[in-house]
Every structure is written in C-alpha cells, then in structure tokens.
C-alpha cells in the first residue's frame, strides 16, 4: 500500500520546528507492515494514495475542508479535536517513532539555506512520553479529562541509540508516583534530557529538586505559572529550587483565559494586572516568563498590549536589559507598541510600577 502522512502544522505554520510524534509512529507502523510511506508537504494529489493520515497539534493550523472529506483520509490530533482527540490505536501508540520520517524534508530545508540548528528536534532527539495525564483539570488544557498521572511507556520504547538527547512530552511528570525510578532511568542513559511541556513547580520537594537539578539537563528548566492565585506557593517553590540551582528557570505564563467565561472589560483589565503580577514575581526571583495567550485574547480591547508584553518577555535579551517602558521607547514613541502602553496607562495610572520594573542581573548565573 502507498501511505501518505501529512503533518499539518509543518505545512500551515511558518515557524513550526517540532516533529509530530503521531506521524512518526504511524510511519513506523506502516513500514513494519511493508507499506511505502511518504511525508506529504502539500494537499495536492492525495487521491493517488491508498490511505492518507493528517495530524495537527494546534487548533489554528489551517487544513482545507476538501482534504478532510476525501474517502481515503483519516485525521486526528488535538488540533482537530482538542481535549476530545481520540487516542492512537495501541499497536501504533507503542511503536518506536520513525526518526527518519522527516530526513528528506530537513535536508531540503538546509540545502535551501536554513540553519541546521533550527532542526535539532528532528535530528538529535529521541522523543516520547514516559507518563500521560494530569490531575489539575485546568479548563484551558487538553488534559482536563484525566484524573491522575499514570505511567505510559518505558524509555526503551522510544529512545534511539543514535540520538544524543532526549525530549519528554509528559503532561505533569512529577504527578506520577513513579517519578523517581523514571528520572533515575533517564540519568542512567548519560544523555541530556528535557521536559518540553514544562514541569509542575507546585509539586517540587527537596527530594525532587536534588534529583532534577542534579541531572544532566538540556536547556532551560521550564515550569508553569498560569494562575496568580498560586503566587505565594510558586514563590516558595522557586526559593526551594534556588537552594539546588542557579540555572535559568523559565515559566510559561498563560493569559487571556477567563475561568468564569465572562471575557468582559473588567476581566481584561484584571487579566493584564494579574499577568504583570506574575511577571514581577518571576523577575525578582531571576526567572524568565514566557507569555502564552489564549486564542480569545484577540477579542480584548487591550490586544495590542498583550502582544507587546509577549514580545518583551519572550525575548530574554530585551527582558533582562530593559523595562517594558524602555522596550516600547526603543520601538519609537510613534510606534503602535508605545501607543498601546500609553493608552492603557492613561486609563490605569497604577500600571506605571509594572512598566518600570527591571530584571536584576547582578547575581545572574544564566
């Protein structure tokens, strides 16, 4: 059989640079059956394939309706079904990923002048889940239907001896009761590893900190600070972590999501201030925020301010060197960026404190 597999995010997102794990597992599964597998990078000529799989992770990745209606097409992933996405068949889910699935595409990109380092997740990393699920039930999360964190697959199921690094996609690793054994197995590989989705800072203990920060870790330690109501606990855990490491800690800061589903003017104003409060806590503890916006932020009267804050925070070279006000001035006093800040400050003068706060690099080991 001739099988076509489309990574819709690869096609529809200009700066997307992360492989689709489901696509790689489907590829290996069909190759083991003796089928010919093709990575399709467009939506033309789908009718010549015996079967086509389309997968996407992000909801806003465009996919032509005409492709989804073809009789030889199956599609899936959180990008189509969010928290209702059907799981892969067990025989596919527990396949070794096909780590050569993207080889030709990567080679084409590099030959066209793209930098090889931009494709490291395609070439250097073994990728998979040791655990699945989460017990937090956050309303914005694709994992809200889970009640607990459970062991999912052994490391041997997805580690490739030819790849020098490991990338874990676990939803809430430290929520698993077997975390210590799994972390020890990662350490025993001798390979640097990372938790791409972030870790739950609220679950840190001395034992977890000693093990995690004593590991051969790859890149920034990533956590999440999604709710200002957790501010006191998050700061306590940052101080606990600082007993074990001075390395950079990055926090995903989700914003634009109203848990009461009002999305009115009062919410939008408070959400901006709550975001600034979280950034201030992270700043004084020498941590990096990474602002992530819920899709409905685009409906906010302060949409431009959300964009400006994200541009500032998500570029550490600016965040560490300049206040938000200085960042806006750098864009020019006639810029939209500066106007967004000025208009909000005119309505809410108390925001000035947040505009002028600055990162202290005096004891920065990052």
Residue 344 domain-assigned?
no
Instruction: Flag whether 119 is in a domain.
Output: yes
Number of domains observed in the structure of the chain: 1
| pLDDT(192) > 70 | yes
- Which of 324, 329, 298 has the alpha carbon at shortest distance from 313? 324
Specify burial of residue 353 (Cβ count, 10 A radius: 0-12, 13-18, 19+).
exposed
39-44 average pLDDT score: 97
Closest by Cα among 88, 4, 92 to 52 = 4
Residue 82 lies in a domain: yes
User: Using H for helix, E for strand and C for coil, what is the string for 201-269?
Assistant: HHHCCHHHHHHHHCCCECCCEEEECCCHHHHHHHHHHHHHHCCCCCCCEEEEEEECCCCCCCCCHHHHH
Alpha-carbon torsion (246, 252, 256, 257), positive or negative: negative
88 is written with which tokens? Answer: 């892969």
Domain, as residue range, for 61: 1-123
- The upper half-sphere exposure of residue 323, i.e. CA atoms within 13 Å in the direction of its Cβ, equals 13
Q: Residue 27: its pLDDT value, please?
A: 98
Specify whether the CB–CB gap between 27 and 98 falls below 8 A.
yes
Residue 199 DSSP class = B
Domain membership of residue 66 (yes or no) is: yes
- CA-to-CA dists, residue 143 to 130, 133, 222, angstroms: 15, 6, 18
Rounded Cα gap, residues 297 and 140, in angstroms? 13
Question: What would the pLDDT profile of 322-356 be if each residue is shown by its tens digit?
Answer: 999 999 999 999 999 999 999 999 999 999 999 99
Count of C-beta atoms within a 10 Å radius of residue 247 = 14
| CA–CA dist 366, 358 (Å, integer) | 16
111, part of any domain: yes
Average pLDDT, the chain: 95
Query: Which of the four pLDDT bands, split at 50, 70 and 90, describes residue 146?
Result: confident
Q: Which residue has the tokens 């080991």?
A: 365
The pTM score is 0.92
The residues, ordered by sequence, that sit 6+ positions from 304 with a Cβ below 8 Å of its Cβ are 336, 337, 339, 340
Question: Which pair of structure tokens corresponds to residue 84?
Answer: 């209702």
**pLDDT classification of 150: cutoffs 50, 70, 90:** very high
pLDDT of residue 361: 75
Inside any domain, residue 56: yes
C-beta separation of 153 from 182 below 8 A: no
In a domain, 244, yes or no: no
Is 348 within the bounds of a domain?
A: no
**Confidence grade of residue 364 (pLDDT, cut at 50, 70, 90):** low
Per-residue pLDDT tens for 57-115? Answer: 998 999 999 999 999 999 999 999 988 888 999 999 999 999 999 999 999 999 999 99
318, β-bridge pairs: none
> What letter does residue 56 receive in the DSSP assignment?
-
d(CA 7, CA 154): 25
Q: Per-residue pLDDT for 365 more than 70?
A: no
Q: Using CA atoms in the order 162, 167, 171, 172, what is the torsion angle rounded to 10 degrees?
A: 100
pLDDT of residue 185: 97
Residue 201 token pair: 């800072």
**What Rg value do the Cα atoms of the chain yield, rounded?**
22
């Amino acid at each position: 059989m001739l099988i076509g597999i489309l990574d819709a995010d690869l096609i529809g997102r200009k700066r997307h640079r992360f492989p689709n794990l489901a696509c790689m597992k489907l590829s290996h599964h069909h190759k083991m059956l003796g089928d010919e597998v093709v990575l399709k990078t467009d939506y033309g000529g789908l009718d010549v394939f015996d079967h086509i799989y389309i997968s996407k992770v992000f909801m806003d990745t465009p996919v032509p309706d005409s492709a989804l209606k073809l009789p030889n097409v199956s599609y899936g992933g959180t990008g189509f079904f969010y928290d209702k996405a059907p799981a892969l068949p067990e025989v596919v889910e527990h396949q070794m990923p096909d780590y050569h699935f993207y080889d030709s595409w990567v080679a084409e990109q590099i030959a066209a002048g793209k930098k090889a380092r931009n494709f490291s997740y395609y070439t250097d990393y073994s990728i998979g889940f040791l655990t699945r699920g989460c017990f937090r039930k956050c309303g914005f999360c694709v994992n809200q239907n889970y009640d607990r964190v459970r062991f999912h697959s052994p490391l041997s199921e997805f580690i490739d001896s030819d790849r020098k690094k490991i990338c874990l996609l676990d939803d809430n690793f430290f929520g698993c009761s077997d975390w210590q054994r799994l972390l020890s197995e990662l350490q025993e590989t001798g390979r640097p590893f990372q938790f791409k989705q972030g870790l739950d800072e609220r679950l840190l203990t001395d034992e977890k900190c000693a093990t995690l920060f004593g590991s051969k870790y790859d890149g920034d330690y990533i956590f999440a600070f999604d709710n200002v109501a957790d501010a006191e606990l998050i700061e306590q855990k940052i101080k606990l972590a600082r007993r074990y490491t001075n390395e950079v800690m990055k926090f995903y800061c989700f914003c634009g999501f109203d848990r009461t589903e009002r999305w009115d003017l009062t919410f939008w104003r408070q959400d901006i201030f709550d975001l600034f409060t979280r950034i201030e806590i992270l700043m004084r503890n020498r941590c990096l925020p990474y602002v992530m916006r819920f899709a409905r932020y685009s409906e906010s009267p302060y949409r431009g301010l959300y964009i400006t804050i994200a541009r500032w925070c998500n570029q550490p070279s600016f965040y560490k060197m300049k206040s938000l006000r200085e960042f806006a001035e750098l864009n020019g006093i006639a810029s939209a960026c500066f106007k967004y800040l000025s208009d909000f400050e005119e309505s809410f003068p108390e925001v000035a404190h947040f505009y002028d706060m600055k990162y202290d690099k005096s004891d920065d080991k990052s």
